Every structure is written in C-alpha cells, then in structure tokens.
Structure 1
C-alpha cells in the first residue's frame, strides 16, 4: 500500500470541487492505496486587482454584500450565505479534511489534479500563482497529474505575463502529465515537448451512480428544472426567460450552487444529494463545467450556456466546448438561453455517451494503476 497525496481544489466551496476530489480519492483507494489531501500555500495572484482583498474576513464580508445585491428572493440569499458559511465545517470532513492544513507531507506519490490546478493567470486571491500546484517543493518520491486543467489560462497569457519559462521548468520535473482538455494539452506540449495523457474529469471517470453508496433516494412531489449556475452569472433577462419557460412546462425552478432571480427554491444539501436532485430533474440549464457533467451522468436533457472570456474576466468557453465535444454533446451548447427550448426537447443518445465514458473509465484506471505502481 502506497502513501498517496492529492493536491487539488478540495477546499474551494462548491459542489463540483468536492465531487471531483471525492471521486479521485475513491478511484485511488480502489487501487489499494492510502490517500490523503495535500494543501498548497496560496501566493499572490499574477493579475493584481486592487479591489480584491487578501484578508479572508474582508473577502467573506464583501461576498456577503454581493449576495444581497443579487436579484433573488431574500430567503434564498440568507440560505446561500448560510450554505457558504457552513460549507467547510459540514462537507470537508467527508473528504477526510480537517481545519489543519496538510502542507508538504512525506509521500510515495503526489497526484496533482483534477480541476483547474494549473489556472495560474487569474486574479483569484484564494488561489494565486502557487508553484506547489505545479509540483514545486514537494516531499514525494514521484509526482504525477490527473486531468489537470489550465482553465482559461492560455499559452499567450503565460507569455504575456512572463510565466511560460517558469511553468515549463516545473512541468518538466513531473513524472507523468495527464490533462483533461485540449488547451491544457497544447500548453504542456508547447512548453515541454511532452505529449500528455488525456483523461476525463473524475466525476465522469468514477461511476458515481453505481459505486457510490452515499447518494440518497429523494422523494420530491413536484416536477422541477435545475438551474445550476453561480450567483450573478445568470442575467435578469436570462432569468426572466427561464421563469417563463419553466412555467409553460409546469416546472418549478430549483437553484443549486447559487441564488437566482427565477428560482422557486434554493437547494442547500450534501454534495451527494446534488447528484440525487439531478437524477430526479426533468431537465437542466447550466453554464458550468460540472453542471454539464452532473447532467450527463444523470442522463438528463440539458442546455449549457457558453460564456466568452473578455480581457481578464472569467469565461468558460475553452473548457466547456472541449468537454462537450469529447462527449459528443456539442449540440447542447449555446450562447443564447432561449435555445434551451429547442435543445432540451432533443433526446440524447446516452447509450453511445455511456460507451465512450466506459472506455475512458478503463483508461483512467490503467493510467492511475501504471503510475502509482512504478
């Protein structure tokens, strides 16, 4: 039994981060290894934003004020603030994570990933530019990555901010590199000359609905549509259209992951219950990476709204287009929410999608087994 550490975005307070972390841990444990999560030291971000405080309490207070500014029912805003406040205490212990940070432990293997661990050209003070996320200053005998992503960090951005040579030097020291998208693969190839492995995000690679015993059976008496998006990303016009659309179809709107103007309910639940809600939904509208994945593994009709990256603003175009193309689900993408009426009326050939995912699950287990046994 090897001692394996996972360095990921496991402390980030959202369901996608939790479920990908849990899935990767479960897959490595299935190989017979002892698994722990490893923390990285947060460093200053490359893109400086004077409006972003480095003080945690100040950031939390600012986020609270932002929540009250959203156009959403007051009750939902209060529930959302409570959800964020209690997230770490309620959910991180389910991953075996405590309040004590686990920096640079002695390990046989360090696995970096999944999630946007390489997304280093951004202004998020919760992450910053941390060399440890590229394998620097570790105390492991071997370092690999699994489905790591640069997010919307591109090679041109690395060059613009003069971080390309530094990142290249870190990547060249990693024993095996696995990425989850073309943008990340191209950066690795261009900076190192190494062709990385491509693997699915852990939420797809791990068979949640057949292997995880923590997903409950929910009894919901009403028919509902899930709107899975961060607070503030669904515009008022989009929300008004979704409300009208759901009413025409006699569906309630359940907001998960953020508060929304058009929601009938804001759902605060265990991460595993999120998957149960997706399983029971009539359909889904999302603009997130993991919302698209949850919809896929739950076999639901869904529409994914693509957001373009403008300047230093955060967009999802690179990672969502890549994900849905890989799954043969590019027809679910749109820039206009009104297209959801047409898109969600089209059935998905989930038998074909499942065959593709099944092959990739075997690829994942082979990769992990090979790299954690050498």
Structure 2
C-alpha cells in the first residue's frame, strides 16, 4: 500500500491495550477493507486504559466512574507494572510481539495521546468509521464522544461498524446525550441485537445488526497471518482471564476423559496458579495466539472473542459466563445467530461431556455466512 498518499478511510476503535480480542478486531476491519480495495488506516487514538493516555477535563466520562471501578483500573495498572518488574523477560517479549503484529499487519496513523490532541488535529479522510468493541459503553471511564466521530469534519461520511454498548440497556437520563451522538452518524450498525433495540429506543432509527469484524475474515485469512504452534500431542486451550474454579474443574474433567494436556493462554503476565497440570503461556502475541487456536482440540473460554475464534477455527468449545451477571448480551447474541445456545454455560451448570464434540460446523458456517454477507453489503453500501 502506498502510504505517501492520504488514506481515504480512518477507523477509530480500541487498540494497543495488550488484549488479544481488541487487537485482532481492530486489525480485522482494517484488513477486510484493504481486501475490498479501500485505502484505510486506524486512527491511533489511545484508549484511556493505555498507560500513555493523557486524561484531561474534556475527557471526563459521561457517568462518573465508581470508586470500585477506579480502584479496579488502578489495581490492573499496578498489577501490569508489578508483573513487568517481576517477569521482565515475559513482559518484554509479549510487548514486542503485540507491537510487532501491528507493525507488520496494520496501517496505523500517528498517535493521539489525548482528547484535545485528536480534536485539534486536521484529519483528511473522506470517510470515518468507528469500529467494533465496547466503544459505546456508558461505563467506560472516559468521554466516549470520539467513538461517535464528533471530531470528524461535518461533511465527512461517518459510519459505525459493529460498535457495541456492552450493556443491555441505557439509563433514560443519558438518552439526550446519546441521541446527539448517534445522530452524528450517517450509517449505523451494531454488534448485538440489544444495540439495535437501544438505538431504536433512543433515536427511532433502524440500525443493522452485523458481525464482529473478526468474522469478516475467513479461517484461511487468519491462518495466513498466524504463527503455527508446534506441538506433538492434542491439547485443550484454556482462554480465561482470571481464576475460575468452575472452568478449571470442567477442564480437568475433559482432561480425564480425553487425556489431553491443558494450555492456558493468559492475558496477564502473572501466573494464575502454581498448577503443574496447566501449562501457562504468558508471552504470546496475537499471531501466536491464532496459532494456538488453530491447533487446539477443544476450547474453554470466558471471552467473547474466544467464542468467535472457536467458531472460525471450528473447535468444539464451551463459553463460561458468570452466574452473577445477566449481562451476557453479546455472547447470547452470537450463540443465537449460530444456534449454539447450549455452548454458553453459566458457572454451576451441569455439562454432559458425551456431547462435547457434537457441533455441526457446516450448519454453523451457513448461518454465519448469511450474517457475514449482510455485514459486507452494509460496508459496501456505506463506503461507496
């Protein structure tokens, strides 16, 4: 791609947060547009959780962050710092692999470290896209106006692709603000059916339910960029963010039945337990992560993108959601599309392991393909 020419499309999304799902969804929309023949790059506006983001008065969140969430963010930052200090080699390799992935595969603009830096810049794109992920979540600890493209010139084409509220409903108090923001967009699509309903309630407009950008790329597209995982025996891939006894017990039951080893790919660099029955991989980047998925025999995950990559790579899987939360709308929405509601477990659910591998991926693929075609048509219509 000729980077000396001004790119025509600028995408804003969540990027550079040391998280497999976020990096891969950002790359996927960029890459799909490239395959469709569109010049595009990601506008590198740092997410508020990035350690280099500069918070300002203008970037204060719509809803004041609760003390609990502020403490949680602070604890995670310190945990990252502590783990980088305690395991410098792991942290260094992981960072190199994440950075290297985007350097190799993703066209990214200069970095915007703050709200004012973004809003004071002259950006020359014809079309602006707000990408997927929970960019519209009212509980984000930052001003989410940039994710409604309010920084873009008035006359520019403004598109939302698979943007997510991350919640099932929005408090009526915030309808006015959300209405202004949503009305700034010309073409609107969202990642969950709940999102379609929220937009209808707030604005009266019909948004389109589209697939997460990671599903716009085929299994072969992903295999082309993965780094294969060298292994000699089958394994259960355990993609779980924090300690989860129910998930671990289920993994051990499957291990007992199959004799497979368990490999955990961790988001955090800290070992999560000193269990020699689970192999912890803590320094993988996105390309290595894809290689692990491609060769897995079975997947257990708590992650939304963990579910998606199980579908893409056609792996028997279970997705585990907390018993305490009713807010699993994105997982439920995805499973409804593919007709695999029984693969979504709540902690404590009984599991019949005799049905572990009973997924007809031909049926899944035909259901997904319908949704993917609708999504690609939406992009074509919005961009031409």
Q: TM-score, normalised by structure 2?
A: 0.81
Q: Mark the CA change 1:322 to 1:7 in structure 2 (over 3 Å): closer, same or farther.
A: same
Residue 150 (str. 1) matches residue 160 (str. 2): no
Stretches of structure 2 that go unaligned for 5 or more consecutive residues are 1-5, 49-58
CA contact (8 A) 1:15 1:257 kept: no
Q: What is the deviation of 1:101?
A: 2.5
Partner of 1:307: 322
Q: Mark the CA change 1:51 to 1:362 in structure 2 (over 3 Å): closer, same or farther.
A: closer
- Correspondence for 2:380 among 354, 359, 369: 369
Residue 60 (str. 1) matches residue 74 (str. 2): no
Q: What is the deviation of 1:40?
A: 4.2
CA contact (8 A) 1:302 1:344 kept: no
Instruction: Tell me the distance in 2 between the aligned counterparts of 1:298 and 1:25.
Output: 20
Q: Mark the CA change 1:267 to 1:246 in structure 2 (over 3 Å): closer, same or farther.
A: farther
- Correspondence for 1:44 among 50, 60, 64: 60
CA contact (8 A) 2:40 2:107 kept: no
Residue 321 (str. 1) matches residue 326 (str. 2): no
Q: Mark the CA change 1:88 to 1:283 in structure 2 (over 3 Å): closer, same or farther.
A: closer
Aligned pairs for 1:1-374 within 5 A: 3-40=8-45, 42=48, 43-45=59-61, 46-50=63-67, 60-65=77-82, 81-82=91-92, 85-86=95-96, 89-94=99-104, 95-97=106-108, 100-101=111-112, 103=118, 105-122=123-140, 125=141, 128-139=142-153, 141-152=156-167, 154-155=169-170, 158-159=171-172, 162-210=173-221, 213-230=224-241, 232=242, 234-236=243-245, 238-258=247-267, 259-261=271-273, 263-307=278-322, 310=325, 317-336=328-347, 339-340=350-351, 342=353, 345-373=356-384
Instruction: Tell me the distance in 2 between the aligned counterparts of 1:89 and 1:303.
Output: 30
Instruction: Tell me the distance in 1 between the aligned counterparts of 2:185 and 2:9.
Output: 15
Q: CA RMSD in A?
A: 3.1
Q: Write the deviation string for residues 57-82 of structure 1: whole angstroms up to 9, x where unpaired.
A: 986324445x69xxxxxx9x777644
Q: How many residues align?
A: 350
Q: TM-score, normalised by structure 1?
A: 0.82
Task: Tell me the SS of whatever aligns to 1:278.
Answer: helix
Instruction: Tell me the distance in 2 between the aligned counterparts of 1:202 and 1:287.
Output: 19
CA contact (8 A) 2:237 2:300 kept: yes
Q: What is the deviation of 1:216?
A: 3.8
CA contact (8 A) 1:238 1:337 kept: no
Q: What is the deviation of 1:184?
A: 0.9
Q: What is the deviation of 1:254?
A: 1.0
Q: Mark the CA change 1:277 to 1:15 in structure 2 (over 3 Å): closer, same or farther.
A: same
CA contact (8 A) 1:16 1:290 kept: yes
Q: What is the deviation of 1:284?
A: 0.7
Instruction: Tell me the distance in 1 between the aligned counterparts of 2:184 and 2:167.
Output: 23
Q: What is the deviation of 1:15?
A: 1.0
Q: Which moved more, 1:216-225 or 1:254-263?
A: 254-263
Task: Tell me the SS of whatever aligns to 2:226.
Answer: coil
Task: Tell me the SS of whatever aligns to 1:138.
Answer: coil
CA contact (8 A) 1:309 1:316 kept: no
